[in-house]
Amino acid sequence: MTSRDYLTIDDFDVDGKTILVRVDLNTPMDMEGNILDDMRIKSHIPTVIDLEDAKVVLMAHQSRAGKNDFTTMKPHSQRMSQYLGKEVKYVDDIFGTYARSSIASMKKGDVILLENVRFYSEESITRPASEHSTTHMVRKLSPLIDIFLNDAFAVSHRSHLSIMGFTETLPTGAGRVMEKEISSLDRGVKGGERPCVFVLGGAKVDDSLTVAENVLSNGGADRVLVTGVVANVMLAASGVDIGSTNLKFIESQGYTDQIERGKAILAKFNGQIGLPIDVAFNDGGKRVEVHVSELPDGNLPINDIGLETIVSFSDEIKAAKTVVLNGPAGLSEVEPFALGTHEIIKAAVQSEYSIAGGGHISAEVRNLGYEDKFSHLSTGGGACIDYLAGAALPGIEALKTAATRYRLNR
Ligand code: 3PG
Ligand code: MG
């Protein structure tokens, strides 16, 4: 028995047991259904390997209803089979007769992947575990399953059926991805080796400011460096005139009120927030560097942090013992404006403990071939930022509740 407040594979005798594992295989796919990035698929292989003496039933989602890549799990099962070196059988049913008979006839060592769980619309209703646990999906599948594992950290910020429902009907624990996400992110958010620096960028300004407030109030971080749209909002909050185009962009994203919030944060955590000292404008696709004290009147968009900022942020990042990156420093998908993001990534891996989270920055980490250089590359986007912001993730809370119940009943 571990001393954690949730159970893991190590807490159960899995030999010969039928184990339902909620995984997050949600993957970028093109119009032909080809997988563009298989990081998430790969991530769950250790969990499946550790269950090799069990019968493993995988459940996952791909995209959302209405989107082009809302499709079946067949390509995922094929890719997973390749990584695992044995068949992951695709079953194009979720909890109907075919799914249930497939589960009932499994042998030790078998692995199946059920159909896209979001094909069933009740999956995506947000409600508590107690309500999800009485649904048809849970009632039909639970009698066939011995243990439920939630390994889908990246969707555990959603109180969805397959994340919550089985935690009330079955012995429940975390898979290896979930375990690693929680322990690795805790090392960043609850403070690991000092100094600890957070670099917050990207366009989700409200979430990033919540992360900044959380880690600076609870002492999790010593410094927060801001980049991306977050930096533009904070520059405006500090009294810099960032120009009408940049202000309009902030307004179009619904973040104008974040400028006031930014002022309060700067006043409260004076000296702990690092702002860019220069920026790169996008002048018809060309990179133009300007110091923030010399920003011209005009309408050019700020698309990256400037060179001097890159140098000073990089120095600070390299000197830190723990670094957490969330969100790109600029418009990283456009070549001249990926510079800030790339240099921040290169600096981060030189610190003792480095974490990166969020879809855009993870993509750039992989573009650079740096995925193995990070201490932890989170599989989560929204889930990662919510976790860093100190929010309780419903899927993780459900694991804790289930552990308490399990221990009481023994
Ligand atoms: C993700 O890709 O962020 C997770 O798989 C959750 O997907 P969602 O944002 O569509 O709920
Ligand atoms: Mg998402």
Give 52-67 pLDDT, tens digit per residue: 999 999 999 999 999 9
> pLDDT-derived band of residue 3, with 50, 70 and 90 as boundaries?
low
- Distance from the alpha carbon of residue 25 to the mean position of ligand 1, in angstroms: 10
Q: Give yes or no for residue 381 CB within 6 A of ligand 1.
A: yes
Share of the chain above pLDDT 90, in %: 87
Instruction: Write down the mean pLDDT value for the chain.
Output: 95
Residue 233, phi-psi category: left (phi > 0), alpha (psi -120 to 50), beta (remainder): alpha
Collapsed DSSP state (helix, strand, coil) of residue 355: strand
pLDDT digits (tens, 9 = 90+) for 345-393: 999 999 999 999 987 898 899 999 999 999 999 999 889 988 988 889 9
> Within 10 A of 109 (CB to CB), how many other CB atoms are there?
13
pLDDT digits (tens, 9 = 90+) for 152-176: 999 999 999 999 999 999 999 999 9
Supply 390's token pair. Answer: 């100190």
User: Which residue in 175, 182, 184, 185 sits closest to 44, CA to CA?
Assistant: 175
Q: What is the mean pLDDT of residues 216-235?
A: 95
Q: Give yes or no for residue 24 CB within 6 A of ligand 1.
A: yes
Give binding residues for substrate as ranges. 24-26, 40, 61-64, 118, 158
> Where exactly does CATH 3.40.50.1260 map onto the chain?
9-180+392-409, 194-351
> Within 10 A of 189 (CB to CB), how many other CB atoms are there?
23
Gap between the Cα atoms of 354 and 375, Å rounded:
5
User: Which residue in 191, 130, 179 sits closest to 321, CA to CA?
Assistant: 191
Supply 89's token pair. Answer: 């059988």
pLDDT digits (tens, 9 = 90+) for 282-314: 999 999 999 999 888 778 999 999 999 999 999
User: Which residue in 367, 285, 298, 366 sits closest to 331, CA to CA?
Assistant: 285
By alpha-carbon position, which residue is closest to atom 4 of ligand 1? 155
pLDDT of the residue at 2: 45
pLDDT of the residue at 53: 98
pLDDT of the residue at 1: 39
- Distance from the alpha carbon of residue 154 to the mean position of ligand 1, in angstroms: 7
pLDDT digits (tens, 9 = 90+) for 32-50: 889 988 999 999 999 999 9
Q: Give yes or no for residue 154 CB within 6 A of ligand 1.
A: yes
Q: What is the mean pLDDT of residues 315-334?
A: 95
pLDDT of the residue at 109: 98
Tell whether the model's pLDDT for residue 191 goes beyond 70: no
> pLDDT-derived band of residue 88, with 50, 70 and 90 as boundaries?
very high
> Within 10 A of 218 (CB to CB), how many other CB atoms are there?
12
* Pocket mutation for ligand 1, best pick of 158, 204, 207 (most atoms within 8 Å of C-beta): 158
User: Which residue in 145, 137, 197, 188 sits closest to 165, CA to CA?
Assistant: 137
* Pocket mutation for ligand 1, best pick of 24, 26, 62 (most atoms within 8 Å of C-beta): 26
Query: Which CATH class name applies to 9-180+392-409?
Result: alpha beta
Amino acid at 410: R
**The CATH number of domain 194-351, selected from 3.30.70.20, 3.30.390.10, 3.40.50.1260, 3.30.460.20:** 3.40.50.1260
| Cα atoms found within 13 Å of the Cα of residue 34, Cβ hemisphere only | 3
Q: Rounded to 5 degrees, what are φ and ψ at 324?
A: -120, 120
Q: Does residue 66 contact residue 79 with C-beta atoms inside 8 Å?
A: no
* Pocket mutation for ligand 1, best pick of 22, 36, 59, 61 (most atoms within 8 Å of C-beta): 61
